[in-house]
Structure 1
Amino acid sequence: MINRFKAVTLLATAAAFPMLASTVSAQDQPNNEVAEDTGALDQIVVTARKRSENIQDVPASISALSAFELNRRFDSDVRDFADSSPNIVIDDTQQGPGGVAAVYIRGIGVADVEKSVDPAVGVVFDDIYLGQSSGSLMKAIDIDRVEVLRGPQGTLFGRNATGGVINLARSRPTYDLTGKARATYGRFNTLKLEGVVSGGLTDNVAVKVSGAYEESDGYFYNEFYDQDGQRSDFFAIGAALLIEPTDSFSLLFSYDHQETDQDPPQLLAINRDTDLFCVAFDQCSPAPGVPTSGDRYVSIGDGPLNKNASFEFDMAIAKATYELGSDFQLDYIFGWLKTDEEITQDFDSAPLTLYHTDRPARWRQTTNELRLTKGGTGPLTFVMGAYLWDSRYTINLKNYIGFAGPTLLTSAQDVTQTNKSWALYGEADYELTDRLTLTLGARYTDDKKTSLVNDGTIFFYDNFDEINPFLVIEPSLATGQIVMTEPVEESWSKFTPRVSVSYDVTDEAMVYALWSRGYRGGGFNGRPSTIGAATIPYDPETLDNYEIGFKSEFAGGSIRLNGAAFLMKYKDMQQDLDVPAPGTSTGRENRTINASSAEFKGVELDLTARVNENLRFNGNIGYLDAKYEDFFGDIFSTGTPVDATFLDIRRAPKWTWTLGATYETEISDNATAWVTGDVHYIGAHEITFLNNPNLRNGGQYLIDASVNVRFNDTTVSLFGKNLANEDGWTIGYDVQNIWSYGAPRPRRTYGIAVTQTF
């Protein structure tokens, strides 16, 4: 399938190039470029509050990248947007196909592959919330705007946005013929082709078509098979149709299809001398923090490497907009998302079959949103709406266990969970005076979840071929297995308010104060081994955010400086614990419990400056102090709860900062050159819940740079990413006393790109 699509994509890209003779695309116009007549920075328009407004007028912590900035970057996916905002960490957990996002803002997030675990940071794509971590590392194809909203967004975005929201928006179809194509070749034999073309079919109908293809040998070497260990093929195609029958009414339809075929992500075992896999199977780390392979980019796992992992993504979106007059606008937004994935993964990371899994999973979600907005310049502006959510996922898990006594034990488990949710929300600004504005917002959410779990037959073999089992155990509660005839069900509801006040000190400076509440839904464990863990739900968690901040521009508008200080209080914080489950096939299970309260406080600054017509600087800095306040639990799986407040919270570095610069100059009448680079620092932080020192990250300096020359409508670029070759862990997990595993960030890469616009 991928090969057929590859051919189609290459032909489509080749067909587009003969048309590259028109004027420069609107997508390549400098939306945020410095105005030549005044030297001031252009306005940044955001839709963070579900209406278009200047970022400097929004009383909240927001960072943004415009289309102009995005066109000059070499982002691969959502991970690359982390440097645009302070106090944010984004990683791929490498625990599934298609990219499994671990997005943390201000120390709040989730790094779990199970779809039963709701995200804590929302990834919103063209107004559609992506309800699972798998597939949330959206590729940077035709992205027109990136907004990072820090702090709980419980009013406008609802549940599961306690840490914040990453809001991605694509360009609308244009009536003028416009387009862009980019071909990139980089290290690890990575080839990437991307293209987007838009134009009018009639005076009131426009269409846009986009496509991408990427293949790579990957940055891992598998010593067991003596071959590259993380090869991948990616294909995407999308189309959007804009219909505007009248000046006041429009319809926008889009459909996107993506496919990934890849080797299963390569994990690394980091086993201590006392771990079972070291003691019984001689799979020991040669030194603390060193994987059993001896190298963070060398795997010795014996899992299959024939691109047997696949991820398919399909999304349909329909939007209807009606201008009612008197600054009123009515929007209806429908979203449908389907993902299908298959993977057989080697979690033990050894040249033995100790713990492998086969994890085919399916996800479906449907959303409906009706929104009424009042804009304009009057004293009252608002947005209010109603929201419906319906999702369902199924996983058919099969475990291959070689450490439980016999040569091989296989067990299976089927899990189906559903979630139906509805909400009513509203947020309004009222100008008390010309300079003083009060904002009030609220959302009421009602959730209902179900879960059905059934264990399959357990087989014991004296061989790895799964032939002639010498013992078979059929599913039965009497043998400690999970058998359910009907799903369990639980409902929750939550009211999440927001209050803020802002004051325009001058026309160029504003201060604000806000209180907001976030809510992450309760649920059922998606990886249980006992009937209790399968049927007893965990409760929602809530987060209150107290924040003061400012927005400012000075030096004739050539410098923009925004900042905030915050204090966030967690209640009923959900924690994932690996605990013993004696008498079960795996002997362990993962449980989510409401174990703790926590406090997060910090400071953030965002800076953009134009020094002169050639030189620009951008930077941000974030400080975070995150700690448990009350946490009492059986964290060591001894059966005895202990005070666990001594643990550091995962993925919560004290310091993050970015410093970047761009120097641009004309080198002839029709040629421009620019050099750009940035350093993104992520401070030392824990990766594992129990703060395993072998999987702890020190400070990391992620350095990216590019040299670019544009001749008319053609740009040639040399680029590098992670030039310091930082190899920090992006995932770490402890199966207590048995083994631990992790995966490093991608290695240094570099390449050449040719971009054509028209």
Structure 2
Amino acid sequence: MASGFARAVAAAALAGSAMFVTQAACAQATNQDTDLVPDPEGPTPAAGPVEGSTDPNAIIVTARRREEALQDTPVAITAINAAMLENKNSLNIGDLQGEAPNLLITQQNSGAAAANLSIRGLTYADIEKSQEPTVGVVIDGVFIGTNTGQLLDFFDIEQIEVLRGPQGTLFGRNTIGGVINIRRTRPTFETGIKAEASYAKFGTYSARAVLNFGIGDVIGVKPFYFYNESDGFYRDGQTGERRGGATNHNFGVAIAVQPHDDFDLLLTVEKQVQDFEVVNSVITNDTELFCGFAPPELCNRNTTDDLYTVFGQPAGGSYEAPSITAEANWDTGPILFTSVTSLRKSSENQTQDFDSTYTDLYYPRRIQDYQQFSQELRAAGDLFDGFDYVVGGYYFDSEFDLVQYTKVFGFAPAVDPIDFDNNPQSVRGTTKSYAAFGDFNWAFAENLRLSFGGRWTRDEKTLRNSFAQLGLIGEGDDSFSKFTPKVGVDWRPNPDAMFYASWSRGYRSGGFSPRAATAETASTPYDPEVVDSYEIGSKLDLLNGTLQFNLAGFISKYDGLQQNTTIPGGPTGNQTITNNVGSATIKGIEADASFRPVRNLRINATLGLLDAQFDDFIAGNILNGVILPFDYSNNDPIYSPDVTASVGAEYAQPVSFGELVGTVGYRFIGKYDQQISLGPLTGDLVNGPVIVNGNDPRVRTDQQNLLDASLTANFEIGDAEAYVSAFGRNLLDDRGTTAAFTVAGLFSFASAREPRTYGLTVGVRY
């Protein structure tokens, strides 16, 4: 059993890292490429026609706030057909992982509907509301300001566009890695319904329905309701019962008003409600303190099959997120004006057993409220023949209030952290952001076009850290601003080929440390991150338009890298702060192909190659009770696999009752690390610098081989269509971590990816 002194030291370290663990756990917890060839009917009507495009099967994207054919857009982008994802019963955007080159999306169980997103090796996976993502998720034109709330249901999606590389001109700050641009279907003004129910392994049920009807020719109404529940795929190591269950409701209504052809208004009111159990898998080993308190069988467990048996005490959360969005378009002829207004709120109440054992060593409760308001105004048109533009302004305002109660060495599973901790930590923060932007295309010579633009952004932030009994610890108030330009040129030697080159700059705002515990560290801001990306690429239509092949190569220079570090100070003896620790260089090649050799068969393939290296990474850390400079330059950047690849096929066969559609898809994701952590140490262990030789191997996920398949029978019943689909995901039962975290020599925990699952879906469309 550990000594009383060791226990006291551990308690201080844990309390000081309380905010860090619960969020950083999560934290370190495009291509111009082609995409799926569209269905034979062509793009969805809501996408609209593209001026100058004569291909009825052209894929329409809005990556540059214009409607353009994918192959005419000089941006590294993959447009993903949501219908193909529905066929394999994909539930949320997490199932996009591997569908585009150099794209990773993993679920973060320390926050509601939270995602860890990485594009081209750029990520910052932290659920703290003051810590902003590097990859933007945009839903119907609205930027989601936090990692929570990003795992959206797929059922009502029209199209998903994955934009790789900095998107600082049109999408703004905090998109230095890229953007996932999601468009949901619009009301059709006609009576119709799409509804389905499914059952899958692990007690997973879902029911979804979208109804459309019109009120005259002016108003279109689309109510929707989605529900799913699951028992979870973990097993309790003591009772044998399923763990990790959840229920999710998402409901609302979209109302479109179009009094005449020149004006339309879309109003969407919705709410997401989640109740979920949070489980962690224990991966603590005998080099860490908690092994002295936990039963021996809970130490030194592996990071594959052992992950699926859990021992932590019950923990869970609730999440409610109402929102309202209004989009208005007014076409005056010369100029198209667009306004997008949104208000989103959320409330969360979550507990989590981070030591992952039934010994009750470290168990917090987090209660927080968040809201964001955003307004964007755009004007688009042609200044003269061969010169088009999009210009606009943007305003973003958010605030949050977090209270965390922490139970450290409670040894009392029945006691709520609220009753245990009489000195909870409180963090309150605000962000105001203002931006003006412009994006321009100029066809200055035959077959040559210049694309250029820029965005000026100003961010104003405040953060206040306090404890209930100790009172105010510190607070900060500062502003950050940046101009992010982009310039590129593309050349079309013939209608079937385009070559382009571009340079763009991305910016991720600075801020204040939400876990700082002294007046000095709480009031000292960290600076913004900046990425300069250089890219060349080609987009080719080959074999009479049956093959699309796109290729891109890029180099990104990443400066001002923001990272969490733990240093001495504060009422508990140590604190976690965020500061700028170094730079990195990321190189890559991306390929994307879509081939339709015959009418009823389409084949898709992607490949991403990545070389991500820190140029320098120096941060303070504690060794033998003394803060020393640690050099992490030999560590691998997180969520940066060397290889991602996929290949998929869809075949449709007409039959007497309708149509059979079969799909099969294989995704390969190379191994990658999920946390900047301490591997073997060399160098000067007394005075520093201490050389860190790689990350802890437990935070590395092994390579993944993911195989999915489905078979769908479509039945024609009068004017309606019914369908029955059998599906399987991860058919090879590839097991391992989706997130893993080590905590300062005290303990370690992880979460697992979904094992093999299969099920059946029935539905109707009318």
* TM-score of the alignment, normalized to the shorter chain, above 0.5: yes
Aligned to 1:517: 505
Provide the rounded CA distance (Å) in 2 between the counterparts of 1:271 and 1:218: 23
2:424 counterpart of 1:437 = no
Contact 1:701 1:726 in 2 (8 A): yes
Aligned to 2:713: 709
* Amino acid in the other structure paired with 1:701: N
Contact 1:92 1:102 in 2 (8 A): yes
Contact 2:192 2:212 in 1 (8 A): yes
2:631 counterpart of 1:643 = yes
Contact 2:330 2:336 in 1 (8 A): yes
Aligned to 1:599: 585
Higher mean C-alpha deviation, range 633-642 or range 433-442: 633-642
Provide the rounded CA distance (Å) in 2 between the counterparts of 1:402 and 1:582: 21
Output aligned runs, 1:85-484, within 5 Å. 85-96=100-111, 98-224=112-238, 226-263=240-277, 265-282=278-295, 286-287=299-300, 289-290=302-303, 295-304=306-315, 308-326=316-334, 328-374=335-381, 378-402=385-409, 410=421, 411-457=423-469, 475=470, 482-484=472-474
Provide the rounded CA distance (Å) in 2 between the counterparts of 1:121 and 1:500: 22
CA displacement at 1:372 relative to structure 2: 0.2
What are the superposed Cα offsets for residues 386-431 of structure 1, whole Å, 9 maximum, x if unpaired? 00000001111111001899x9973411111000010000000000
Aligned to 1:622: 608
SS of 2:58's equivalent in the other structure is coil
Provide the rounded CA distance (Å) in 2 between the counterparts of 1:386 and 1:666: 50
CA displacement at 1:534 relative to structure 2: 2.2
What are the superposed Cα offsets for residues 495-537 of structure 1, whole Å, 9 maximum, x if unpaired? 0000000000210100000000000011111223333332221
* Amino acid in the other structure paired with 1:530: T
* Amino acid in the other structure paired with 2:427: V
Higher mean C-alpha deviation, range 526-535 or range 268-277: 526-535
CA displacement at 1:141 relative to structure 2: 3.1
Contact 2:643 2:669 in 1 (8 A): yes
Q: Which runs of 5+ in 2 are unaligned?
A: 1-37, 45-54, 678-694
Provide the rounded CA distance (Å) in 1 between the counterparts of 2:39 and 2:210: 12
* Amino acid in the other structure paired with 2:516: P
* Amino acid in the other structure paired with 1:659: V
Aligned to 1:698: 702
Contact 1:449 1:491 in 2 (8 A): yes
CA displacement at 1:75 relative to structure 2: 1.5
Provide the rounded CA distance (Å) in 1 between the counterparts of 2:332 and 2:379: 10
Higher mean C-alpha deviation, range 277-286 or range 599-608: 277-286
SS of 1:278's equivalent in the other structure is helix
2:541 counterpart of 1:553 = yes
Structure 1 residues 584 and 269: CA distance shift in structure 2, 3 A: farther
Aligned residues: 691
Provide the rounded CA distance (Å) in 2 between the counterparts of 1:271 and 1:317: 45
SS of 2:598's equivalent in the other structure is coil
Contact 1:288 1:694 in 2 (8 A): no
Aligned to 1:736: 744
Structure 1 residues 693 and 67: CA distance shift in structure 2, 3 A: closer
Q: Cα RMSD (Å) of the superposition?
A: 2.2
What are the superposed Cα offsets for residues 307-339 of structure 1, whole Å, 9 maximum, x if unpaired? x4111111110111110113x200111011111
* Amino acid in the other structure paired with 1:483: I
Q: TM-score, normalised by structure 1?
A: 0.88
Provide the rounded CA distance (Å) in 2 between the counterparts of 1:365 and 1:385: 20
Aligned to 1:571: 559
CA displacement at 1:139 relative to structure 2: 1.8
What are the superposed Cα offsets for residues 177-209 of structure 1, whole Å, 9 maximum, x if unpaired? 222111111001111001111121111111111
Aligned to 1:21: none
Contact 1:320 1:332 in 2 (8 A): yes
Structure 1 residues 434 and 114: CA distance shift in structure 2, 3 A: same
Provide the rounded CA distance (Å) in 2 between the counterparts of 1:221 and 1:681: 27
What are the superposed Cα offsets for residues 66-96 of structure 1, whole Å, 9 maximum, x if unpaired? 3544553422111112232100110012112
SS of 2:110's equivalent in the other structure is coil
Provide the rounded CA distance (Å) in 2 between the counterparts of 1:497 and 1:376: 21
What are the superposed Cα offsets for residues 185-237 of structure 1, whole Å, 9 maximum, x if unpaired? 10011110011111211111111111111111111122355532112111111
2:597 counterpart of 1:584 = no
CA displacement at 1:728 relative to structure 2: 2.3
Determine which of 594, 598, 616 is the counterpart of 1:612.
Answer: 598
Contact 2:394 2:436 in 1 (8 A): yes
SS of 1:256's equivalent in the other structure is strand
CA displacement at 1:273 relative to structure 2: 1.6
2:667 counterpart of 1:654 = no
Structure 1 residues 404 and 345: CA distance shift in structure 2, 3 A: closer
**Percent identity (aligned):** 34
Q: Which runs of 5+ in 1 are unaligned?
A: 1-26, 34-39, 458-474, 477-481
Provide the rounded CA distance (Å) in 2 between the counterparts of 1:227 and 1:72: 30
CA displacement at 1:104 relative to structure 2: 0.3
Determine which of 61, 64, 68 is the counterpart of 1:49.
Answer: 64
Structure 1 residues 744 and 644: CA distance shift in structure 2, 3 A: same
Provide the rounded CA distance (Å) in 1 between the counterparts of 2:465 and 2:610: 40
Contact 1:277 1:283 in 2 (8 A): no
* Amino acid in the other structure paired with 1:640: L
* Amino acid in the other structure paired with 1:700: Q
Structure 1 residues 319 and 582: CA distance shift in structure 2, 3 A: closer
Q: TM-score, normalised by structure 2?
A: 0.87
Contact 1:258 1:313 in 2 (8 A): yes
Provide the rounded CA distance (Å) in 2 between the counterparts of 1:412 and 1:513: 53
Contact 2:312 2:356 in 1 (8 A): yes
* Structure 1 stretches of 4+ moved >4 Å: 27-30, 280-286, 635-638
Provide the rounded CA distance (Å) in 1 between the counterparts of 2:189 and 2:313: 54
CA displacement at 1:285 relative to structure 2: 5.3
SS of 1:360's equivalent in the other structure is strand
Provide the rounded CA distance (Å) in 2 between the counterparts of 1:171 and 1:82: 22
Provide the rounded CA distance (Å) in 1 between the counterparts of 2:75 and 2:587: 16
Provide the rounded CA distance (Å) in 2 between the counterparts of 1:734 and 1:436: 52
What are the superposed Cα offsets for residues 347-386 of structure 1, whole Å, 9 maximum, x if unpaired? 1111122111100111100001110011599301110000
CA displacement at 1:641 relative to structure 2: 0.6
Aligned to 1:16: none
Contact 1:64 1:84 in 2 (8 A): no
What are the superposed Cα offsets for residues 699-744 of structure 1, whole Å, 9 maximum, x if unpaired? 1011111011111111111001111222221112221111111111
CA displacement at 1:295 relative to structure 2: 1.8
Aligned to 2:667: 680
Contact 1:32 1:66 in 2 (8 A): no
* Amino acid in the other structure paired with 1:525: S
Provide the rounded CA distance (Å) in 2 between the counterparts of 1:180 and 1:290: 41
Contact 2:456 2:482 in 1 (8 A): yes
Contact 2:248 2:272 in 1 (8 A): yes
SS of 1:245's equivalent in the other structure is strand
What are the superposed Cα offsets for residues 35-73 of structure 1, whole Å, 9 maximum, x if unpaired? xxxxx8821100001111101111110001235445534
